[in-house]
Structure 1
Amino acid sequence: MIPAALLVFLPISETAGIVVAIVLYGAIVVILIATTPLVEVTDAEFGAGRAHLPLAVVHAVRAVEGDEAGAERGVRLDARAFLLIRGWIPDLVRVELDDPSDPTPYWLVSTRHPRRLVAALAGARAGSAD
């Protein structure tokens, strides 16, 4: 986007081209930060973006990394699964569900720290079981 802004505005004015490029870059950064989904674990639920899942229905959790993560996104993907996948984040966490009233078999959530998320979910589930 910045080279395109420079290409359009530099012939008009060098100052305008640089200012528009800087403003455009800032706007893109703000939009990316504002639209980044939040993944969080509380004492009662697991949140991924706008979706929230009670910990009581979480059956199993595992980190999925490397080539296996690619297979989970592709050939092994169940069409009924809930997905919060960002293409630039290679690793996933797979959260298996045990809820007879919900047809969703599992959640796949992209994360840069899959093992930390698995540990947080395991800790929260252990805490809620007490």
Structure 2
Amino acid sequence: MQSYEERLTAPRSWWFITVLVGISCGLILLPLGPLPMLGGVIGGIVLAGAVVSAYGSVRIRVVADSLVAGDARIPLSALGEAEVLEAEEARAWRTHKADPRAFMLLRAYVPTALRVRITDPEDPTPYAYLSTRHPRELAEVLAAARAL
């Protein structure tokens, strides 16, 4: 069985913004003196970096008999056909075409996605929308894993 693993890391520009947040915190504390200002810069960068790192640490994996997407673990037997979504179609499925019951692993900074039908009759979730930089590869791995 083929394996697949992808980490949806935050874009580089977000890391630059963490530095700007740190500088802003330092400027806010500047009237209190140089040490509080330095503490504000360091603390702001650390806190903003932790937020960006946590948001960008989500992974999509195909392991054993499951699709693991973020905190969700979906058995391969419950998955139907996968539809590769290019940028325009992905935008439509995360906005006006979206079903509120769907599982959405959404990262707006990733333009492409994969929409996978959920076929389990006891699960009210109609599909899983997965932001991914490699939707074709993920679809191929899911198709191969379901065929086994």
- Of the three residues 126, 132, 147, the one matched with 1:111 is 132
Counterparts of 1:112 and 1:11 in 2: how far apart (Å)?
45
The TM-score normalised by the length of structure 2 is 0.74
Structure 1 residue aligned with 2:17: none
1:15 CA displacement: 4.4
1:65 CA displacement: 1.5
Q: 1:95 and 2:116 equivalent? A: yes
| Change beyond 3 A, Cα 1:68–1:14 | same
1:30 CA displacement: 2.6
Which blocks of at least 5 consecutive residues in structure 1 are unaligned? none
Q: 1:43 and 2:58 equivalent? A: no
Q: What SS does the corresponding residue of 1:116 show, helix, strand or coil?
A: helix
CA contact (8 A) 2:26 2:39 kept: no
User: Which runs of structure 1 show a deviation greater than 4 angstroms over 4 or more consecutive aligned residues?
Assistant: none
Structure 1 residue aligned with 2:47: 27
Higher relative contact order (CA 8 A, sep 6+): 2
| Change beyond 3 A, Cα 1:120–1:23 | farther
Identity %: 35
* Aligned length, in residue pairs: 127
The TM-score normalised by the length of structure 1 is 0.83
Residue 52 of structure 2 aligns with an amino acid whose one-letter code is: L
Structure 1 residue aligned with 2:22: 2
Counterparts of 2:137 and 2:38 in 1: how far apart (Å)?
42
Q: What SS does the corresponding residue of 1:90 show, helix, strand or coil?
A: coil
